[in-house]
Structure 1
């Protein structure tokens, strides 16, 4: 028998008694994160715009559905008031999954509205959530802020400039936050997925199912939402003195931003 004070990260009770707020919860990585946090014992507030999807998720997992638009300051504030009223002003983790890409234009052909949407969603939305919930994270005594960025925060690529700019921006904010919050015993974690095939990301970005499918053509096993969520949940459940500053995960077929193994469909 081993006697360890903290539960193993994959124990079903690893998050027992802990409270998490998760954005982007209506689909993809956010949804999978809510499912897995609930399964490891966390009490989860699931935040997204689409109320009917959240209600279904709440029924399936026991999470609490909180409809919110992270790009609307007042919406964020009212969600925070509601949640913090129910949690005595304390949460253990703020998990910022909401984000996304619009368009794949080169800089010269880029659309200002695409860039603005990406900056609002990835940077300002995350910023609004942090401002609203950070005092509650600090109040837990052992809190965590986790931001989901992307390998697009590592290196620019053709057609990626707007998304690169947004994710580089989110990374900069995350790095500054880690320096500012260590003295408050707050962990700041950045998870950077490469190629993930989720139900909506590429469709939202490129506007059609066909264009979205082409992104993954010939790639035998892109990451799934569940794969990324497993890493998110591991980093939240690992002993609090361990800060996984930045985790990059890609499918084996994507050796780098610039090398992807695509096999002919047999």
Structure 2
């Protein structure tokens, strides 16, 4: 026996935006969002990650007011109708949006800026006592894919995330509530993404929980000769299997059922 591993958690993506790269415009109304969230939960999602601002390459920022108008009705609807044990995460870099989302029923934060866009994010997370995911990104979504370069992508991303985790702890966030995310596809070339996935065990070795968000990412399409994001389910499954094998415990995905199965079977094999 290799020892008991925590069950991999599947975070289903719920974009309530008109312009996300894979599913923009599909789930903007509370009713459509609820139907999709219920389907993801039935397929095995543990967490629903709700975003009101697209962060695809080249995207423009969205105001706090617009984010709140998009996500608050959805969060309230989901909290009323989904099982209490399903976590609701809000994908935002703004502390006001985070605070109002938590008041509406969210109980996790997902910050792609790792607290750099708004340092008060850590104060909000600390006061609420909720988990917060901190992601690495080179630049901003608008320009992050403009010729990203690294001397050693694994070392640089790892150093950044550990430093941001320390800042979060200094603001009062408990270590067990910090989740680090290497930011696959955020300011990285294909070879950078592949190296980060190959070295996921180094992120796990920090002792923080690790989130992997590789779902339907463009770099996999370049490998597979596929330009349609929705046709990258198999490619995403490969990253989930590699992640579980490395000790990653949280996976942010579009295709819940396939990745739930892949994660559970991989975990069962490793458990033997």
With normalisation by structure 2, the TM-score equals 0.38
Flag the structure with larger Rg.
Answer: 1
TM-score calculated relative to the size of structure 1 = 0.38
